[in-house]
Amino acid sequence: MKLSELLEDIDYELLKGGSDPEITGVVYDSRKAEPGSLFVCIRGAVSDGHRYIPDVIRKGAAAVLVENYSEDADHLPDEIKNSEAVVIQTKNNRAALALISAVWFGHPARRLTTIGITGTKGKTTTTYMIHSILERTGRRTGLIGTIESITGKRRIPSENTTPESYLIQEYFREMVDSGCECVVMEVSSQALMLDRVAGIVFDYGIFTNIEPDHIGPNEHKDFDDYLNCKKKLLMNCKTGFVNRDDEHFEKIVEGVSCDIETYGFSKDADYRAERADLTRGNGYLGISYHAAGAVDMDVEVDIPGKFSIYNSLAAIAVCHHLGASQESILEALKGAKVKGRVELVKVSDDFTLMIDYAHNAMALESLLSTLREYHPHRLVCLFGCGGNRDRNRRFEMGEISGKMADLTIITSDNPRDEEPQAIIDDIKTGMAKTDGKYIEIIDRKDAIRYAIRHGEPGDIIVLAGKGHEDYQIIRGKKYPMDERVLIREILNE
């Protein structure tokens, strides 16, 4: 493909070269540069792609895309000036990479019904619910999210909630080639801030909720910045679905350009939940409710908690727009299960065991308060905290569990380069602010074994922190460790 074709959708300035070379590949990692490639310089939190321009020039890159480059055309370094590479400048290389990648892969999003989901909580579960419903209707559907990406050709474990723009377009291309009609994807605030979905006009956008989170030096400077980044999804979709019950609803919809429909318990919601009830029995927890307004159906979801009502309502709203039958919706929601998100694992008819990704104080508090609503005989919380991370998280999680659980089992998570006992001691510091009972068992399998063997009738036991992860990081090395496997091994002992 000619360089000029790749640049057709972006504004740029030519710093060097007048030729229009044939481009053999688009790369943003200098290690992948090869003869004929276009190298896009990306400024990251750790490294700046501009530093590697000499490397890609030596490897034979045909063109380099720079951003607000310090050198003008007359003062380019000799290594660049004496090469045959074309040098182009833009004001925003991340957005440029997204637009160039779309061209490189043949604009695959134009051949898919695109559904984007943003929000502080609920993205992953809602994504899988929609995927399950659409697949049940016979629409082959791709998925991109926190746990994995499903393209129809591959299932790829995720490193980020929303991958880099080039990978998004690559996955879209695979979806189209494998016969997918739709794609549902999580769209994080970071992805919106870093233009990973630039150029994509989503057919449908969902805004699940917003709470203060991801605010800090390397993320969002304040809550307004966080909110405004998330609102970008609604500015770049045709129809948006927003949680009417969110306390920030008016700010979320203020000034957005798409058609807005709402869901929630509010009498003003277009998709409205009524007669909600918590369900429980034989090691199982769930919810049931009547969906009214634009639809009329009795819904059951085998995922506990009020948040499951919101997630399923959002899924119903989108799939109703896409013509899914009531039968397909109800069957898919009844069997909905998301790895590591309030994931029930049947080990006994007497008590309930589940795995959840809650790995900070806010998530743990939300989870435990949800489970309290089921009035367990005992609420047992097993968790640890990651090493080489903010120690305050350990104090906070210890205090939350101490206040809200009847028994806390403190164990290891990903200790990384720290001593597991040191992390446990920090958690105990938080526990000490409460009257909560606890035991400490460093080895996670031993801790899970203790939880299962000491389960009492009516207990709810939650294994928190690992969720979908199937590894443990110790001294810089990943070791296989899937809690589902550990549970099976314990039951077979």
**Stretch 423-447: mean pLDDT:** 98
pLDDT exceeds cutoff 60 at 109: yes
Q: What confidence score (pLDDT) does residue 104 get?
A: 98
Residue 391 · residue 430 · CB < 8 Å: no
Q: Which residues pair with 441 in a beta bridge?
A: none
What phi, psi does 8 have (nearest 5°)?
-60, -25
What phi, psi does 256 have (nearest 5°)?
-75, 155
pLDDT band at 68 (very low <50, low <70, confident <90, very high): confident
Residue with tokens 């709470």: 211
Q: pLDDT over 70 for what percent of the chain? A: 97
DSSP letter at 19 equals -
Q: What is the CATH number of domain 3-102?
A: 3.40.1390.10
Q: Which amino acid is at 70?
A: S
How far is residue 356's CA from residue 369's CA, in Å, rounded to a whole number?
Answer: 14
- What's the whole-model pTM score? 0.93
Q: What confidence score (pLDDT) does residue 231 get?
A: 95
Both tokens assigned to 169: 């377009």
**Stretch 301-318: mean pLDDT:** 96
Tens of pLDDT, residue by residue over 170-221, are 999 999 999 999 999 999 988 999 999 999 999 999 999 998 655 555 666 6
Q: Confirm or reject CATH 1.10.510.10 for domain 343-492, answering yes or no.
A: no
Residue 389 · residue 417 · CB < 8 Å: no
pLDDT band at 76 (very low <50, low <70, confident <90, very high): confident
Q: Which of 297, 300, 272, 271 is nearest to 284 (CA)?
A: 300
Neighbours of 417 (CB within 10 A): 10
pLDDT band at 222 (very low <50, low <70, confident <90, very high): confident
Domain 106-334 adopts which CATH fold? Answer: UDP-N-acetylmuramoyl-L-alanine:D-glutamate ligase (3.40.1190)
Ranges of CATH 3.90.190.20 domains, the chain: 343-492
Q: Cα torsion at 65, 71, 75, 79 (round to 10°)?
A: -50
Residue 117 · residue 185 · CB < 8 Å: yes
Q: What confidence score (pLDDT) does residue 213 get?
A: 59
Ranges of CATH 3.40.1390.10 domains, the chain: 3-102
**Stretch 363-375: mean pLDDT:** 96
* Rg for the chain, CA atoms, rounded: 25
Q: What confidence score (pLDDT) does residue 81 get?
A: 80
Ranges of CATH 3.40.1190.10 domains, the chain: 106-334
pLDDT exceeds cutoff 80 at 77: no
Q: What confidence score (pLDDT) does residue 220 get?
A: 62
pLDDT exceeds cutoff 80 at 59: yes
Residue 37 · residue 113 · CB < 8 Å: no
Q: Which of 174, 188, 158, 196 is nearest to 112 (CA)?
A: 174
Q: Which residues pair with 438 in a beta bridge?
A: 408
Q: What confidence score (pLDDT) does residue 85 get?
A: 94
Contacts 24+ apart (CB under 8 A), 90-94: 90/10, 90/11, 90/12, 90/13, 90/65, 90/66, 91/11, 91/67, 92/67, 92/195, 93/40, 93/41, 93/42, 93/43, 93/49, 93/65, 93/66, 93/67, 94/42, 94/165, 94/194, 94/195, 94/196, 94/198
pLDDT band at 317 (very low <50, low <70, confident <90, very high): very high
- Per the prediction, the chain carries an average pLDDT of 94
